[in-house]
Each structure stands twice: as structure tokens, then as C-alpha cells.
Structure 1
């Protein structure tokens, strides 16, 4: 891994990029297998990964899909007095039911994703707590209806593919065996919480360590985690810090699309290399997406080519993101991922 640049960012060398891309394909791949595929050796693979993680450049986590549990995800746009936006954003970022917190480039608007939880805590936050804040001028909320992209580690790569097709095929996880009746997952059980909490901090925690944590066996823990993954209740995610990805310009797109074109437009955005997240939502705009690029020139090109070529878009809004305070469930310090906070409760991700 190269030294930091003048701007404080880190430019990953080709091997580091290969390791991160490999993790996106197989988040729990063993270091022996990783070294074999990349032809760098097990010790080198382990050392480089640990350095990337320790430096706040990459993190593998396990997330729970709220939709799989019948919960609602809300996207809130909170317009604030300029002097209060940072305070509101920081307070929101410390909540376990809030993911992805950002302040727009003007310093007026805070955007966040809020997950409904037992006891309607999210509803109280949106309808009572935020509107009463002296710093808040207005709250606009949209419910997530359908996610086109943004629900797994393989949805998006931060750079051009550094792995060959043969390497990607070699890393592709094997199809797990058909689960027995006792292993079929339909929801998260109380006894799953300790395992999910540990994997939310580090998705590569060995099954042996998880077994000791829960007084179980590695085989039993592995089967349970695989059952939750197979049922779509959980998924592995790989967070890549902007210091490593080189992504410097992020904008939020809010589109108004005719009903007959919604699925087609959402799918087209999901296929775009600069779009890590796109979803259909309620509200005055019915589709939202994130556009992550290396500059506003790419944003302009996307608007004048990709969006211009899609029939059914009747209006759009482009909101530049100024500062990201929480990236998925990882708090951000500068352009690095902050160390995981102590486990308090299981966190589900959008």
C-alpha cells in the first residue's frame, strides 16, 4: 500500500485493490485461498488485509436486511439552520437505528436512513423528536419500496475490476448444501444476536471464536449463519473508505418517474458503474440514487447521457453531498472508517 498523498488519501497498489475486490466477491475467503488465487502467499494476503482494516480503509461486516424482517426503512431529508446541521447529523449518527448520515454541500440539509424498530422508535424520531429540534426547519420522509442496487458486497466496485475473470470464478463461493428442516431460517432468533453482533463488527470473525462466544460448535454456528444468508435475512457488506477508493464527488439523485417506467429506470441506474445505491421510494420523488464519482464532470456526463436516454423521467434533483458522517453503519472520520464501537444491540443495514 502506498503512502498517503498530499491530500491525505491513500492510493492502493494493484495487489491491495485485488484483495478488496476479492473480499467483495467472497467476504470470508480464507487467507490461504486468497493468497493462492492472487499468487502472493497466505502470509502476505493476511498482512495486507489487516493493514487495510487497521488503517480504516476497508471493513467486512454482516448486516441484517430490515425488509426481510418486515421492517420499514425511511429516507429522511432534514433541512436545518446552517449552524445546527452538523450537530443534528452527529447526533443521528450515534443511533443504532440510523445508517448513512451525510450533510449536503450547502450545509443546510442532513440526509439519513432510518430503520423502523420495535416500539416505533423510528416513528418517534421522525414525527416528534426531529421536528421539535430548534435547529430543524423541515423534515421530508420517504419509505423505501424496492432496492435496485445496494444490498450486498458484490453490488458495486469502487474502481475498474482488478481481478481477471478466472480469478473471480475461483473466488466465487460454492453453493451451500440444501439446508435441513432444522436449519431453514425464517427470522432472527434471540440466540442469533450474539453472533450477529460480533459479525456486525467484523464479518471475518472465525467460526471457532463465534462458537466460544455462544457456547456452541463451529459447525453449528456456520450452518446458522449460512441459513440466514440463504434466506436473504442477512448479507455481507464491504465498506471501502474514500481515502482508498479515490471517490471524491458524491451526489444524491431524486427522480420523478412515470409508474410504467419506474422499474426500467431503476434497473438502468443499478447497472451504471457509478451508482452504488438506487431504490424506489414514496414521496414527491419516487426514485432515489447515489452517484459516486471522481469529479463533477462524471456527474454531468451521467445526467446528459444515462438519464437523458431514459424515457419516463419527468423531473430530477441533484444534491451534492458535502460531508459523509456515517457510511452504511460505519462512522467516518475524515476519509477513513472509524473503529467499530462497542457492541450494544444488533444493527440492521439498509
Structure 2
């Protein structure tokens, strides 16, 4: 086991949970060639270190559009603004960039043009916010959220495109399931049934419907620093339109990239990743991103602090 506290078996367990957050330990143990008891001990230990498996809604399948907000604040106000954004229910994550004056947050709104987002209007009138840009996420190549945790493991499944049919309708019982799964994605069927006031068989049917319909996915939240990855950074790329999809897929294929999406704005591709140190980030830019045809510019913004992450309730 390395100094970060995570060894190869731990990483394999994290990978298995990222592939399917509700996979039975018996099947994972069989695939990894260890006993179920050993796997259970490892899981409990990782939970003590901060591991969470959480259910999360896929915005595009629930009739929502996700926007990425990029704010420049007065240096002494960025932390206060970030904390205020983190308390708002429509924000799913908030991060403060290195330097302390730039922050990012994601917000889900009903109208695709953002016209029904009172948060945007409020921020534009906030004196401490020196500039604000809003970037609509057009297509997500990797990661349904911008959480950096467990970036070395592939998502459970690729979220459907925003135009893949009518939004999936939810009722009160579905919303109750989302609430419980946001607390513990591995909650048992009886626990979910009790919380939602449903029978176990009804819970199973609803889970199948939500997952098969692309509205529910599962995330693994685990601090990458425990595995030796200490540099969290965001990358903004300006890519030729003809190469945008190719470059986006190339970024998403790299296990160091947790999140990549085509967005509106001056930079048409945004990505987030975790690296061991600045040298690894430089090597990634030089050897992996630099040679990609169509990349005109690249800007990086290391993360200073995650103020809010994996806030996954359904409004």
C-alpha cells in the first residue's frame, strides 16, 4: 500500500464501483479473485477515508439544461460568493480556482437559453462579481458532473444525448428515491422502499426505469490525493468546429480526465482532470493534447478548493 493509503486492490474496487455503483460485492469479489469478506473490509476502510457512492440525476434526461458559470470576483470576496452559491439548491458543484479570485459553478435550468435562471440575473447585479460568463453545455463527452474524485475510473455508462427523446417524467416516489440515493447510492432495496413508501418490487421496477432511461447514474466520490494525485485543474480549449467531436472524445478517453464537454463561448471545449504533479500536467499537455489536430489554444486553471460537489437532489 502506498503512502496515499490506496493500493491496487483498492483501485480495482473503486473501478468496479464506478462501472456499477450498485454492483453486488459477491460479483466484484469473484471478478477480482478475492473473498467477499476481504472486499467488505476494504470498502468499509475506504468509506472511513471519505468514499461515497451516490446516485445522481442526468440533467438532460429530466428536461434540464446544465450551464457552467465562470466568475471573476474581487479577491477578498470570492470565498464569500462561493459559499453563497454552494447554499443554493440549483447549483450542483462550486469550485474556487487557484489565485482565489476565479470560481466556477454548474447550475441546471429548465429553459435551454437560461432565461429562467434568476441566479444569472442576481449574479450580474452583485458588486463583488467583476465579470460573469455563462457557458451552456452542448454535449458531455465524459462525466455527468465536474467532480474530480475517482477520475481514474470510467463512468458507469455514457449519459444519453440531450436530444434523445422526451424528458423522463418523475413523480413524488421517484424524487424520494433520488433523495435517498444521493445520500447513499448503495442503499438496500428495503431501505429505499421504506424511504419512498413503496414495495421492494416497485423500487426495483423504478430503479430499472430510471437507469435504463438514462435519468439515473452513480458516481464514486473519493479524494484523489489519497491515491497520489495532487493537482486538480480545469482546461479550456478553443478547437476547430470540424475537430470538436474528435478532440472531445480523445480527452474523454484519458483516465485522468473526469469531465469533458462542448460548451458555448470563446472556449468551446472544457475539461477537468487530476494529475500527480505539475510535471505530469505538462507532459499531458505536451504529448496528449498538443498533437491533437484542431486545438488552437489551451488555458489551464488549477483548483484551489472545492466548495461544493456532488449535490444531486432533484428539484
What is the distance in 1 between the residues matched to 2:30 and 2:253? 31
Cα drift, residue 197 of structure 1 = 0.5
Give secondary structure in 1 for the equivalent of 2:257: coil
* Aligned match of 1:52: 46
* Aligned match of 1:169: none
Cα drift, residue 15 of structure 1 = 2.8
* Aligned match of 2:293: 311
Cα drift, residue 229 of structure 1 = 0.5
1:250 aligned to 2:232? yes
Give secondary structure in 1 for the equivalent of 2:117: helix
Hey, which bits of structure 1, 4+ residues long, moved more than 4 A? 155-161
What is the distance in 2 between the residues matched to 1:12 and 1:121? 45
* Aligned match of 1:43: 37
1:285-335 deviations in Å (ceiling 9; x for gaps):
1111112111111221122222221121222221122222223338xxxxx
| TM-score normalised according to structure 2 size | 0.86
* Aligned match of 1:272: 254
1:77-124 deviations in Å (ceiling 9; x for gaps):
110111111111122122222122111111110111111159x89711
Residue 212 of structure 1: which of 194, 207, 219 is its match?
194
* Aligned match of 2:6: 12
1:230 aligned to 2:224? no
Gaps of at least 5 residues in structure 1 are 162-171, 174-184, 331-345
**8 Å Cα contact 2:238-2:298 kept in structure 1:** yes
Cα drift, residue 74 of structure 1 = 0.7
What is the distance in 2 between the residues matched to 1:262 and 1:100? 25
What is the distance in 2 between the residues matched to 1:121 and 1:101? 21
* Aligned match of 1:113: 106
| TM-score normalised according to structure 1 size | 0.78
What is the distance in 1 between the residues matched to 2:96 and 2:176? 33
What is the distance in 2 between the residues matched to 1:241 and 1:347? 25
Residue-pair matches, total: 301
Gaps of at least 5 residues in structure 2 are 158-166
* Aligned match of 1:75: 68
1:215-251 deviations in Å (ceiling 9; x for gaps):
3221220111111111111111111213433221122
